[in-house]
Amino acid sequence: MIIQRIRLLLVSLLVCFATACSQTPDGSADLVRASSASTALGNIELHTFQLANELFANISFNSQSRYAVVGFVPVDTMEYSEKMQHPLMLLGHQLEQGMITEASRRGMITREFKLSSDIMINERSDRILSRDIDKLSGLGNIDFYITGTLVYQQEGAIVNARVVNARNKDVVAAATRFFPAELFWQREQITNRNGKIYRTGVEL
C-alpha cells in the first residue's frame, strides 16, 4: 500500500514538472499555441474588417453621400483573368462584396450599380444582379468610389484600397494590407481546380 502511494506521488510530481516546463512566466507558450491554432484559412472577413478599419479611420461620413464599391483588380492588368490560377484569384471579387458589408456597417450608404431593372428568372436561379449593361437600372448620383488594386505574391497578395471623390478624382483615403495565400485554400503541393491539376500554382 505504501509503495503504491509512493508511485502515485512520483507520477504526480513528474506530470506537474512537465506542465511547468511547457509554460513560461509571461504566458508566451499559450500565445504561441493560440497563434498556431488561429490559421489564415477562413479568416477573409477578419482581414477585410482590418483593411476597412484603416481605410475609413479618418473619413468624416456624410449621411447624404453615396458610395459605390467597385471591383479590386490586379494592378498590372486592371482586369480579372480566369486563366490566372493563384490561391487568391477570387480575392478581388470577395473584397468588393466584403467592403460593401463593411461600409454599410459603418453607416455609409452604398449603391448597388449591378442592380437590374427587373427580376430575372430561369430554370436554375432567380436574381436581380447582372453584368449585362442593357439590363442595368440607372446608376444615380455617386459621390465616392471605393476600389483598389491587388499585387500578387508567392505567399499572398498586397491589397491597396482607396476612396476616391467621384467629382474631382481626389483620393480622400487609402490603406494597404497583406492578405495571406491560405485564406481560401490550405497550402498544398497538388490540387485540382476547374478540372485541371496544379502543383503550387503551376498547371500540369
The band of 187, judged by pLDDT with boundaries at 50, 70 and 90, is low
Between the alpha carbon of residue 75 and those of residues 114, 161, 162, the distances in Å are: 23, 11, 13
pLDDT digit string, tens, across residues 52-61: 999 999 888 8
| Domain parsing of the chain, residue ranges | 42-203
C-alpha cell at 166: 467621384
* CA 110 and chain centroid, separation: 19
CATH of domain 42-203: 3.40.50.10610
Going by their DSSP bridges, the two strands 109-110 and 66-74 should be labelled as parallel
pLDDT digit string, tens, across residues 138-166: 777 899 999 999 999 888 999 999 999 99
The verdict on pTM exceeding 0.85 is no
pLDDT digit string, tens, across residues 66-78: 999 999 999 988 7
DSSP reduced 3-state for 64? coil
Q: In the prediction, which pLDDT does 200 show?
A: 54
Beta bridge partners of 173: 163
Please say if the pLDDT value at position 14 is more than 60. no
Please say if the pLDDT value at position 21 is more than 50. no
Mean per-residue pLDDT for 173-184?
91
If one counts every other C-beta atom within 10 angstroms of the C-beta of residue 51, the result is: 23
Q: In the prediction, which pLDDT does 60 show?
A: 85
Q: In the prediction, which pLDDT does 52 show?
A: 96
